[in-house]
Structure 1
Amino acid sequence: MVKTKVEQSIIDALEAVAADHGVDIVDVEVVGATKAPCVRVRIDNLDGESISLDEVTAQSSWVSDVVEGLDPISSSYTLEVSSPGMARPLRRPSDFQKFIGERCELSAIATEGQRRYKGIIAAADEASVTLETEDGEQTSISFDDVKKGTLKPTFDFKKEKGGK
């Protein structure tokens, strides 16, 4: 996955202590204006259970301490610690392997004129992910070329209502 040096340094620093807190560092993004950017840290429970808002609040203190200690941005910035949410970022090969069979969207370095890919995660190994598109074709993309990966949840609002 393609990450900036600042993002990767924050990920590395947080991952060095995250397991001690029972937390998985899902993703780190630095977004916004260069004068006052936002550092977004998405965390989840290491055991695979979804993290609650109270747990995110409890974990925010050590995350802040680690990021402050690293001092990755010379100007002022906002630190945002949150859960991965429904549209969960996919950063590591293990993330893609965990969600085989789920819908996702990727943006990648352009290959054969295409940058965006949508489909079901059909397979993933340490080197690449294979997506099955809506037309049934499979496309393999190297993780070295992936800029961003996100789960795309499916909502079914037309479920049959009981008794009707």
Structure 2
Amino acid sequence: MVKTKTEQAIIDALEAVAPQHDIDIVDVELVGATKAPCVRVRIEGAEGQSLSLNDVTANTKWVGDVIEELDPISSSYTLEVSSPGMARPLRRPSDFARFVGENCELTSTATEGRRKYAGKIASATETSVTLELEDGESVTLDFSDVKKCKLKPTYDFKPAKEGK
């Protein structure tokens, strides 16, 4: 996955400490203006379990302390710590393998003139992911070409019919 040097430095620092707190670092994203950026850190339980708001709040302190010690941003910044949510970002090969069969939206470096893909994750290895696209085709991309990917949740708002 393609990450900036600063994002990768933050991920590396947090992943070194996260096991002590039974936490998995899902993703780190640096967004916003360069003068006052926002550091978004998405976390979940070490075994992939979701966290309550109280759990996220309790873990925000050590996340902030690790980032402050690293001091990757010279100016002021905003820290956001949250759960990954329904549109969970996928960053590691193990994330893709965990969610085989799920729909996703993927952005890659330009390969054969196309950058954006939507479809189901058909398979994942340590080096690549194969998607079954919505048009029936399939494509295999190396993780080194994947800029970002997130799950595409399906919402069903139809009420359940009684007796079925």
Query: Which TM bucket (shorter chain)?
Result: over 0.9
Larger mean Cα displacement after TM superposition, 76-85 or 128-137 = 128-137
Deviation beyond 3 Å, 4+ runs, structure 1 = none
Partners of 1:162 and 1:135 lie apart in 2 by 35
Return the letter of the residue paired with 1:42: R
Q: Unaligned stretches of 5+ in structure 2?
A: none
- State the 1:30 CA deviation: 0.5
Q: TM-score, normalised by structure 2?
A: 0.97
Partners of 2:100 and 2:163 lie apart in 1 by 35
Query: Residue in 1 aligned with 2:60?
Result: 60
Larger mean Cα displacement after TM superposition, 153-162 or 71-80 = 153-162
Report the 3-state secondary structure (helix = DSSP H, G, I; strand = E; otherwise coil) of the residue aligned with 1:81: strand
1:1-49, CA deviations, whole angstroms, 9 ceiling, x for partnerless residues?
0000000000000000101100000000000000000000000001221
Partners of 1:123 and 1:109 lie apart in 2 by 20
Query: Residue in 1 aligned with 2:95?
Result: 95
Return the letter of the residue paired with 2:154: T
- State the 1:135 CA deviation: 2.4
1:74-130, CA deviations, whole angstroms, 9 ceiling, x for partnerless residues?
000001100001100000000000000000000000111100000000000011000
Query: Residue in 1 aligned with 2:77?
Result: 77
Query: Residue in 2 aligned with 1:117?
Result: 117
Report the 3-state secondary structure (helix = DSSP H, G, I; strand = E; otherwise coil) of the residue aligned with 2:96: helix
Query: Residue in 2 aligned with 1:49?
Result: 49
Partners of 2:12 and 2:2 lie apart in 1 by 14
Larger mean Cα displacement after TM superposition, 135-144 or 104-113 = 135-144
Return the letter of the residue paired with 2:81: V
Partners of 2:101 and 2:129 lie apart in 1 by 12
Partners of 1:11 and 1:91 lie apart in 2 by 11
Query: Residue in 1 aligned with 2:19?
Result: 19
Return the letter of the residue paired with 2:86: M
Larger mean Cα displacement after TM superposition, 15-24 or 133-142 = 133-142
Query: Residue in 1 aligned with 2:157?
Result: 157
State percent identity of aligned pairs.
71
Partners of 2:151 and 2:78 lie apart in 1 by 25
The answer as to 2:33 corresponding to 1:33 is yes
Partners of 2:116 and 2:159 lie apart in 1 by 30
Q: Unaligned stretches of 5+ in structure 1?
A: none
Q: TM-score, normalised by structure 1?
A: 0.97
Aligned length: 164
Return the letter of the residue paired with 1:108: S
